[in-house]
Structures are given as structure tokens and as C-alpha cells.
């Protein structure tokens, strides 16, 4: 509450305009914008992105707490294709959500853990590269290098996961006190 929240959608195409409704009787124009919620509560923030031919609206719930870091936010894991450390647009949006959730937590460090399966080429190096890809993306969003660290690098045995094979191709972010 009272903290600046950055809204930065992933939009593609030429001449796309953005209109925001933050759910608290405030609006803004422009794709990248900031907003401050004055009161704790749950808000429905909407983005309408449009060009001369198309328009689309997306809505998300925003929960504003008195002190956002009293509870450590649950951060989303991102998943990678086999043998890859490339982030898809969908995974980049998940990392943007993580970044937004951690902004108020100035006393915490983001620790990124990388995973790969033993059947992937150079599995240990790939697991580390996945974590470093996530770290670099956070830094591109504005996280200081002092606020994000490489955590553990884990090579998992694929045979252990059966038909849930995608679970080993991930990177996870946690907030830790330091």
C-alpha cells in the first residue's frame, strides 16, 4: 500500500495503444505505466490493448496488503522446452508477475534455482544456464545484481518423474532474508 506498482504488458504489433483501468476509479493511457493504490484491498485491473483493426482486454486481480512482505509471496516457476534455456513470452510474463510481487520486499533477495533432467545434454550446465537466464531477465526488468542470486542447480533423474517429465525443466525463484 502506497508503493509504486509498475504495469508493463507484453504487447506485439505496430501502433498498439493501451488503456488501463486500475479498479480504484483511476485510469491511465500508455502501455508502460505506474500506479499507487492508496488503500489495502483487492482490485480488478484491466488493460485494453488496441490498434486500428483489433482490440483485446485482459483483467487481473491485484491484492494490496498493509505490508506486502509480512507474508512471503509465492512466486511462479517458469518452464523450459527440452534442451533449452530460452524463455517464451508466456514465461516472461510470469517473471514480470514475480518481479511485481517482490518490489515491496526491499529486505529480501531473489534466489533463482535451475533444474534439468539427467537425459538432457550437459544437464548440469543447462540447469545453471536456465537459472542465469531468469536472473538476467530479472536484471533487465530493473532488479539490482545485489538483489538476485544463483541458488541451487539441480539435475533430476527423469525416470523418477514418469509422465510428469516437464517438471524437471524449470527455474524457480524464492525470496530469502540476507
pLDDT at 81 over 80: yes
pLDDT of residue 49: 93
Domain boundary among 37, 64, 91: 64
Do 39 and 124 lie in a common domain? Answer: no
CA 30: distance to chain centroid? 21
- Provide the CATH number for the domain around residue 112: 3.30.1330.60
55 and 88 fall within a common domain: no
Residues 167 and 87 in one domain: yes
Higher pLDDT, 5 or 95: 95
Band (pLDDT 50/70/90 cuts) for residue 101 is confident
Whether 73 maps to a domain, the answer reads no
User: How far apart are alpha carbons 169 and 126 in whole angstroms?
Assistant: 9
* pLDDT, position 45: 94
pTM of the full predicted structure? Answer: 0.64
Domain, as residue range, for 101? 78-177
Task: Dihedral sign for Cα 115, 120, 124, 129, please.
Answer: negative
Task: Please indicate, yes or no, whether residues 137 and 53 belong to a single structural domain of this protein.
Answer: no
| pLDDT score of 42 | 92
pLDDT at 3: 67
Average of per-residue pLDDT across 16-40: 92
What CATH number did the domain enclosing 30 receive?
2.60.40.10
The three-state secondary structure class of 138 is helix
How many residues are present in the chain? 178
Tell me the C-alpha distance between 95 and 101, whole Å: 10
106 and 169 co-located in one domain? yes
Q: Does residue 69 belong to any structural domain of this protein? A: no
Over 70: is that where the pLDDT of 20 sits? yes
Q: pLDDT > 70: what percent of the chain?
A: 93
Query: Is pLDDT at 4 greater than 80 in this prediction?
Result: no
Q: Output the 3-class SS for 64-109.
A: ECCCCCCCCCCCCCEECCCCCCCCCHHHHHHHHHHHHHHCCCCCEE
Structural domain total, the chain: 2
Residue 70 lies in a domain: no
Q: What is the dihedral of CA 140, 143, 145, 148, to 10 degrees?
A: -110
Q: Indicate whether 1 pLDDT > 60.
A: no
Amino acid at each position: 500500500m502506497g508503493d509504486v506498482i509498475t504495469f508493463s504488458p507484453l504487447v506485439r504489433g505496430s501502433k498498439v495503444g493501451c488503456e488501463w483501468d486500475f479498479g480504484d476509479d483511476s485510469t491511465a493511457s500508455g502501455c508502460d505505466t505506474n500506479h499507487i493504490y492508496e488503500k489495502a484491498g483487492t482490485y480488478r485491473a484491466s488493460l485494453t490493448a488496441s490498434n486500428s483493426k483489433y482490440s483485446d482486454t485482459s483483467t487481473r486481480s491485484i491484492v494490496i496488503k498493509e505490508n506486502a512482505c509480512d507474508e512471503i509471496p509465492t512466486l511462479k516457476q517458469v518452464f523450459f522446452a527440452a534442451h533449452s534455456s530460452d524463455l517464451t513470452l508466456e514465461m516472461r510474463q510470469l517473471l514480470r508477475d514475480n518481479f511485481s510481487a517482490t518490489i515491496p520486499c526491499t529486505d529480501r533477495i531473489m534466489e533463482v534455482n535451475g533444474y534439468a533432467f539427467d537425459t538432457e545434454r550437459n544437464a548440469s550446465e543447462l540447469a545453471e544456464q536456465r537459472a542465469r537466464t531468469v536472473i538476467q531477465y530479472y536484471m533487465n526488468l530493473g532488479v539490482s545484481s545485489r538483489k538476485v542470486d544463483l541458488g541451487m542447480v539441480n539435475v533430476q533423474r527423469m525416470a523418477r518423474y514418469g509422465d510428469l517429465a516437464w517438471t524437471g525443466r524449470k527455474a524457480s525463484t524464492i525470496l530469502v532474508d540476507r
